[in-house]
Chain A
Amino acid sequence: MWDTPYPWLIPLLLVLAAVFLYPILQIVRLSFTDANMIQVGYDYTLESYLRMFTLPGFLPMIGTTAFFVFFSVVFQLFAGFIVALLIVQGEKMNLRGTVVVRTSVLVAWAIPGVVIGVIWGMLYNETDAGIINYALSTIGLGPVSFLSDPTMALLSVTLANIWRGTAFSMILMYAGLKTVSKDVLEAAVIDGASALQRMKNVILPAIAPIILVNLIIISIDTFNTFDMVMALTGGGPGNSTEVIALSIYTAIFREFNLGEGAATAVVLLVVNVVMTLVYLKVLGRRGEE
């Protein structure tokens, strides 16, 4: 009687349907209305979409999001890989201190995004009492407008996000590097392969799958969050750091514009779906190899 798979799956499907299916249908429906949080009724209209695509704010917002996601992901991957490599190398040579390095990076992973925003806000303090600006001033630089210059603010937010995400990326990379077989590496050394060649021909191919998974997870996460940005800049100055998820929140909970927020949410949803499809395609191809 238990010998069908369905009873095992029912709770999963119920929860997912309740928490995902209904909201998604609702958000799509709301995006075709002029609903707001202040008045009761609403009409069906395409206005939210027209608005979104014709008004001056949309393209910059997409640009900001793209910049933020792209550079966060690239540098998280890169930094995660370098740190993982350093640790693995140190462990191989039985160096002391690898545990300290590992732990200090890991700790960043356990801190909520909002707190990271608050912490970096203190580091980026633009007066001379700000530690980074003070350090810069001792070598004759600055003060840098970390958060009040539009371009700097985007860079500052991205840097804080790289710091935040490197930990998770490092763990995955570390796990991947641990699996690279010692025998193969030693064989490569005996064959006279240089460090660079070993990296290119042995290490990278071996951990490629894990890099891929890492890439997918962190790019989706970066797209979908706004907590750190909200705590750090609130999207400002102007809207220079307003990433898409934050823009949804602002539209709905600060401007009370439900229709417009829903339309932006649908754009984010489409981005999510497209990324999933790319993910599946890439994974599928890997499976065939």
Chain B
Amino acid sequence: MMVGAKKQRWIKVGLYISYVLVVLSFLFPLLWVLSLSLQTRFEVLQVPPSIIPTSFAIGNYREVLDSAPVLQYLWNSFRIVASTVVLTLLIAIPAAFALSRYRMKFKSQLMVAVLMTQMISAVVITIPLYRLFASWGLLNQLWLVVLVYVAVVLPFTTWFLKNYIDTVPVDMDEAAIIDGCNKWQMLSRVLFPVSIPGIVSVVIIVAVQSWSQFVIPFILIDDASLYPVSVGVVNLQSTQTQITTHLLAAGSIMSIIPVVILFVLLQRYIVGALTSGAVKG
């Protein structure tokens, strides 16, 4: 490229300035809450606000842990997300395989119907389910809650994986059949391994969506010891005790820190998986 060195430099400066702006606008809210979480009740209310906490009140975290089971919330979230991911894959991979590799009547109608469900708000379906579960005495059953989580992510997952498998050449199937594989072996030994990048993308997206899922657990779970983080924080926010800003900040930080760390550590793989998956899918 024959762009002048001077012009290059200006572009670089411009880019760096915009990087600083972007990073600031995305990290500042989090850093501010981190700072609040390390301030005492008094420092939080000081004018002017101190950006770097002077009191460094690490005790806030203790206090939150003593008054709210944040670790339990995290553990619940983890359990729910892990089961959702596994169950989703177990259902979506075979379905995607069938939709990709079989001819059948009404296939496009079926695909449309599946996709339709993707568009439906979780609020709409959760209310009747709440009534149903309540009348059967099945509220607070995590496996049922997981089933609803799975249903909500299934349409997208199935579509995504179907499109991914579509990109795998049919020659590979034929080779497998010649080798004497049945359909199941073909899926598990041939298609599954080559679809792993797509599956990883799906796992990440499903995990993030389920981690943030709010409506479903908020309505279907009313036992505070089963709350995932998203509902737990609302609980923390609305408890009638003396949770004030600094403690709420500490609770919020605790509830996001594991995922943030995970994202920072794995960001290269996450971006890689998402981009390769998204483009093919």
Contact = CB atoms under 8 A, between A and B. Distances in A.
A231 interface: yes
A73 to B, nearest CB: 15
B128 A30 contact: yes
Q: Which of A16, A30, A134, A253 has the most CB of B within 10 A?
A: A16
A140 interface: no
Contacts of A98: 19
B46 A129 contact: yes
Given A5-B102, A106-B271, A175 B119 contact: no
Contact of B23 (A9, A100, A186): A100
B141 interface: no
A134 B227 CA distance: 36
Interface string A153-195: 0000000000100010001101110110000001001000000
Given A23-B125, A114-B234, A108 B26 contact: yes
A18 B151 contact: yes
Interface stretch (A41-49, A53-61, A83-91): A83-91
B267 A23 contact: no
Contacts of A106: 263, 267, 270-271
B151 A93 contact: no
18 contacts: A2-B183, A6-B98, A12-B91, A16-B114, A16-B155, A20-B151, A95-B15, A95-B19, A102-B267, A104-B22, A104-B27, A112-B255, A115-B252, A119-B33, A171-B274, A227-B214, A231-B233, A272-B121
Contact of B278 (A15, A105, A175): A175
A118 interface: yes
A223 B122 CA distance: 11
B5 to A, nearest CB: 12
A171 B158 CA distance: 20
A244 B234 CA distance: 20
Interface in A268-289: 268-269, 272-273, 275-276, 279-280
Contacts of B22: 83, 86, 101, 104-105
A105 B126 CA distance: 31
Interface in A212-228: 220, 223-227
B8 to A, nearest CB: 8
B29 A275 contact: no
Interface string B246-281: 001100100110011011100110110011101100
Contact of B123 (A22, A102, A245): A245
B191 to A, nearest CB: 12
Contact of A5 (B99, B218, B229): B99
B234 A272 contact: no
B11 interface: yes
A248 B154 CA distance: 24
B245 interface: yes
Interface string B71-109: 000000000000000000011101101110110100000
Given A12-B91, A118-B252, A227-B230, 13 more contacts: A3-B183, A89-B11, A101-B22, A107-B26, A107-B264, A110-B256, A119-B32, A128-B49, A131-B51, A178-B275, A179-B279, A220-B119, A224-B123
A117 to B, nearest CB: 9
Contacts of B208: 109-110
A12 B94 CA distance: 9
A110 B260 contact: yes
A39 interface: no
Contacts of B195: none
B131 A26 contact: yes
A277 B98 CA distance: 25
A22 B151 CA distance: 13
Contact of B121 (A4, A8, A186, A268): A268
B15 A86 contact: yes
A192 B12 CA distance: 22
Q: Which of B101, B152, B214, B249 has the most CB of A within 10 A?
A: B214
Contact of A122 (B18, B245, B256, B279): B245
